[in-house]
Amino acid sequence: MTEKEKMLRGMLFTPSHDKELLADLATCKALCRQFNALAYQAEDIESAQALLRRLLGAAGEGLRIEPPFWCDYGWNITVGRNFYMNHGGVILDAGGVTFGDDVFIGPQCGFHTSGHPLAAEERNRGLEYARPIRVGSNVWIGAGVQVMPGVTIGDGAVIAGGSVVTRDIPAGVLAAGVPCRPIRPITEGDRMLP
């Protein structure tokens, strides 16, 4: 079994021992660098959007990502319609990251599917694991949020800025903290317009 196959099955793997993974990483970093250079040049906005669509595994209409943006593979990221990620987004997508429709992500947020063994001798061998992250539809993620491996965030949830999400967050709640936890349901009383 290749290291890439191990990665995709959620097993321990060593990315530095797989030529295909190393090539994918290099291609992805080059596309990210090109996107970050083009994104705010008025004559190249369409080129930047085309690069994003080439980089990501799948993306719905209304895609917008502000530079700088970095990811590991790109092909393991799926975003729904009306996806917005503010400046400084990082998606370490070895385990796969899926976003629903109408997701808003604040600046300096990270989605980290990759982790390393706690035992130093295993970690020093270059071993890592990857667990998928799933973000539902109509989710707002505030500035500086970090989402850890294997987490699911339910539809309509709001994650307060600065939170570190280490476990699943149910649908329709405001969640905050380090570690992030549900604070209360989002209700009709939270509407700001009459």
Helices 45-55, 19-38: inter-axial angle, 10-degree rounding: 160
Tokens matching residue 50:
């085309």
Strand partners, 99: 79, 135
Q: Are 85 and 69 in contact (CB under 8 A)?
A: yes
Residues in the chain: 194
CA 177/CA 90 separation, integer angstroms: 20
Longest Cα pair distance anywhere in the chain, in angstroms? 59
Cβ-based neighbours of 96, under 8 Å, separated by 6 or more? 76, 77, 78, 113, 130, 132, 133
Rounded Cα gap, residues 116 and 147, in angstroms? 15
Helix locations, 15-118, DSSP H: 19-38, 45-55
The Cα 3–Cα 157 span in angstroms is 35
Whether 116 is catalytic is yes
Provide the annotated active-site residues.
Answer: 116
